[in-house]
Amino acid sequence: MESEQKSAVDRKQDHILLAFDSATGIQTLDTRFEYDPVHAVHPKEGELWPAQMAGVSLNYPVWISSMTGGTARAATINQNLARLCGEYKLGMGLGSCRKIIDQPEFLPDFQVRKWLGDQALFANLGLAQIEQWILSGKVHLIGEIIKMTEANGLIIHLNPLQEFMQAEGDRFQNPPIDSIKKILDDFDFPLIVKEVGQGMGPKSMEALLNLPLEAIEFGAYGGTNFALLELMRDHPEKMERFKPLANVGHTAEEMVKMVNDYKSKHSVHCKNLIISGGVQHFLDAYYLMEISKMPSIFGMASAFLKYAMVSYESLQSFFEDQMKGLLLSKAILTIKS
Ligand SMILES: Cc1cc2nc3c(=O)[nH]c(=O)nc-3n(C[C@H](O)[C@H](O)[C@H](O)COP(=O)(O)O)c2cc1C
């Protein structure tokens, strides 16, 4: 009782000390939302936000965007990410699985099914690799990768700028849409197509929306930027010369609006969106999912990586707070029309 009184006194003291520092002014107002506290209640402990991907139920609309594999730290990072997916029932994309064929000793980095349980897991390959395998009659390797990783399906990443900026990068010889259609014809596992940090414009999105894809993952502009990242790995003069190209692309908000616009006038064959690229926290995610007229979940890469590199516990604490924020946002905020 005495300590309760003391903590109330401390709190009142803190309020006086911090009141001036906490004044925001009006410039920081987030104008995307209407805040209506009159009818709302707090989310209940343990409340979920069910979603689905590839016929698998998710407890929250969260996708761990494709990242790593084939480096010294990858096994631990992937294990932490996969454990999170298994424990909280999320979906996950693996990082590029090309290494499994080139250097099979790295296969264990990608074998995360044991931590994921039945959750949605997608293998990942770059368009350039797929094109090469199509041209050399080795497309069956894709099926082998799906088997070896026990994945539900495949993500194809489209990264022409990254390939170009990368010193050892590949070149696309045919329009990517042709390779994507060929994979859809040859295999019956679910397919996701994504960018890696520049997003995609309306003509690309329209073409993809017309395909029977499980999802389009944005990999939008505004977060990790692989064109810039590859330039950072190269000689400084390359950075100076090509940097303007790293700044082209489309933000996640722009992409949601282009999909909405298209969907309002046409039928769409793609089933879902994974809104990702520059989504740093739950509030952006909530906003983007709410304005989307397609079934949508959100994906994050670097935000999860930051904690997955440290420990499972830090990743878990970050994730739990993100979900608390997401559910609170859902309870008290609506989108300003
Ligand atoms: C360390 C790292 C490795 C990545 N590797 C891949 C990859 O192998 N395949 C892929 O499709 N995307 C890859 N990405 C891109 C992410 O999936 C995502 O599209 C991009 O980082 C934008 O999301 P973010 O802003 O939340 O980081 C990688 C991202 C990071 C941070």
- Residue 305 CB–ligand 1 contact under 6 Å: yes
Q: What is the largest CA-CA distance in the chain?
A: 78
Q: Looking at ligand 1, which residue's alpha carbon is closest to its atom 31? A: 302
Question: Is the pLDDT reported for residue 287 higher than 60?
Answer: yes
Determine contact, residues 51/58, Cβ cutoff 8 Å: yes
- Over residues 31-53, the mean pLDDT reads 95
Among 67, 191, 305, the mutation site with the greatest number of ligand 1 atoms within 8 A of its Cβ is 67
Confidence of residue 71 (pLDDT cuts 50, 70, 90): confident
- In this structure, of 22-26, 57-61, 250-254, the range with the lowest mean pLDDT score is 22-26
Q: Tell me, in angstroms, the distance from the centre of ligand 1 to residue 141's CA.
A: 23
Per-domain residue ranges for the chain? 51-335
For residue 296 the two structure tokens come to: 């949508």
Cα torsion 288, 294, 297, 301: sign: negative
What the block records as the tokens of 189 is: 């596992």
Q: Per-residue pLDDT tens for 309-335?
A: 999 999 999 999 999 999 999 999 999
User: Which one is predicted more confidently, 56 or 25?
Assistant: 56
User: CA-CA-CA-CA torsion for 48, 53, 156, 154, nearest 10 degrees?
Assistant: 120
Atom index in ligand 1 nearest the CA of residue 69 equals 8
Q: Considering only CA atoms, which residue is closest to atom 15 of ligand 1?
A: 196
Looking at residue 6, what is its pLDDT?
65
Residues 156, 94: Cα–Cα separation, whole Å = 11
Cα–chain-centroid distance for residue 25? 33
Residue 131 — pLDDT band, cuts 50, 70, 90? very high
CB of 162 within 6 A of ligand 1: the answer is: no
Say whether pLDDT at 4 is over 70: no
Q: Is 70 in the pocket of ligand 1 (CB under 6 A)?
A: no
Mention every residue, 6+ apart, whose C-beta is less than 8 A from residue 88.
Answer: 59, 60, 62, 319, 323
The pLDDT, as a whole number, for residue 18 is: 86
Distance CA(126)–CA(148), nearest Å, equals 17
| Nearest atom in ligand 1 to 302's CA | 27
Q: What is the pLDDT of residues 218-274, one digit of tens each?
A: 999 999 999 999 999 988 888 989 999 999 999 999 999 999 999 999 999 999 999
Ligand 1 geometric centre to CA of 156 (Å): 12
Mean pLDDT, range 68-84, rounded to an integer: 88
Taking Cα atoms as reference points, which of 167, 142, 151 lies closest to residue 111?
151
Tell the residue nearest (CA) to atom 28 of ligand 1. 67
188-203, pLDDT tens digit by residue? Answer: 999 999 999 999 999 9
Residues 161 and 227: beta-carbon distance below 8 Å: yes
Indicate the pLDDT class of residue 3, thresholds 50, 70 and 90. Answer: low
pLDDT at 183 over 70: yes
Quick one: average pLDDT of 100-114?
93
Which amino acid is residue 282, in one-letter code? F
Task: Give the CATH H-level superfamily of domain 51-335.
Answer: Aldolase class I (3.20.20.70)
Nearest in space to 149 (alpha carbons), one of 210, 201, 216, 78 = 78
Q: Is the CB of 277 under 6 A from ligand 1?
A: yes
CA distances from residue 9 to 19, 126, 184 in whole angstroms, order as listed: 15, 59, 66
Mean residue pLDDT of the chain comes to 94
> So what's the pLDDT on residue 152?
98
CB count in 10 Å sphere of residue 200: 24
Is the C-beta atom of 301 inside 6 A of ligand 1?
yes
Name the residue of 110, 196, 218, 304 whose CB sits within 8 Å of the most ligand 1 atoms, as the mutation to test its pocket.
196
Q: Name the percent of the chain lying above pLDDT 70.
A: 98
